[in-house]
């Protein structure tokens, strides 16, 4: 059963997905074209098992969908607007102090 998430939940899911560099690379690859897990794993240079875990996370976050394709499963972005959002994030200017370390907000720091 599908449910609609609140705006804050959607942003939190997107942030959780983007918190890992491999998941970012998966999303960027899927932004370019749909793909099969074996092809994605090869393109990203990671094991299929590791990729499978990241795809499961991205599915749970609602950002990618698995599309049956005969005996295989193809992955794609759940919504084409996610590609536009990724483009916007990539083009955003972010100022980062090179001598600072990102810490969790609970530790009185912020990324």
Cα(12)–Cα(18) distance, rounded to whole angstroms? 10
Return the CATH class of domain 7-107.
mainly alpha
Is pTM beyond 0.85? Reply is no
- Kindly list the domain boundaries of the chain, sorted by start residue: 7-107
Q: Which carries the bigger pLDDT value, residue 1 or residue 83?
A: 83
pLDDT per residue as tens digits for the range 53-94: 999 999 998 899 999 999 999 999 999 999 999 998 888 866
Q: Which of 17-26, 43-52, 94-103 has the lowest mean pLDDT?
A: 94-103
- As given in the structure block, the two tokens for residue 67 are 């599309």
């Amino acid at each position: 059963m599908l449910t609609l998430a609140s705006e804050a939940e959607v942003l939190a899911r997107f942030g959780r997905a983007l918190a890992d560099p491999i998941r970012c690379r998966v999303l960027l690859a899927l932004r370019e074209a749909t793909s099969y897990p074996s092809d994605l794993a090869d393109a990203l240079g990671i094991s299929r098992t590791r990729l499978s875990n990241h795809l499961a996370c991205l599915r749970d976050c609602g950002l990618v969908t698995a599309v049956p394709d005969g005996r295989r499963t193809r992955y794609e972005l759940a919504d084409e607007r996610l590609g536009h959002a990724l483009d916007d994030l990539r083009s955003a200017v972010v100022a980062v102090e090179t001598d600072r370390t990102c810490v969790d907000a609970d530790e009185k720091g912020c990324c």
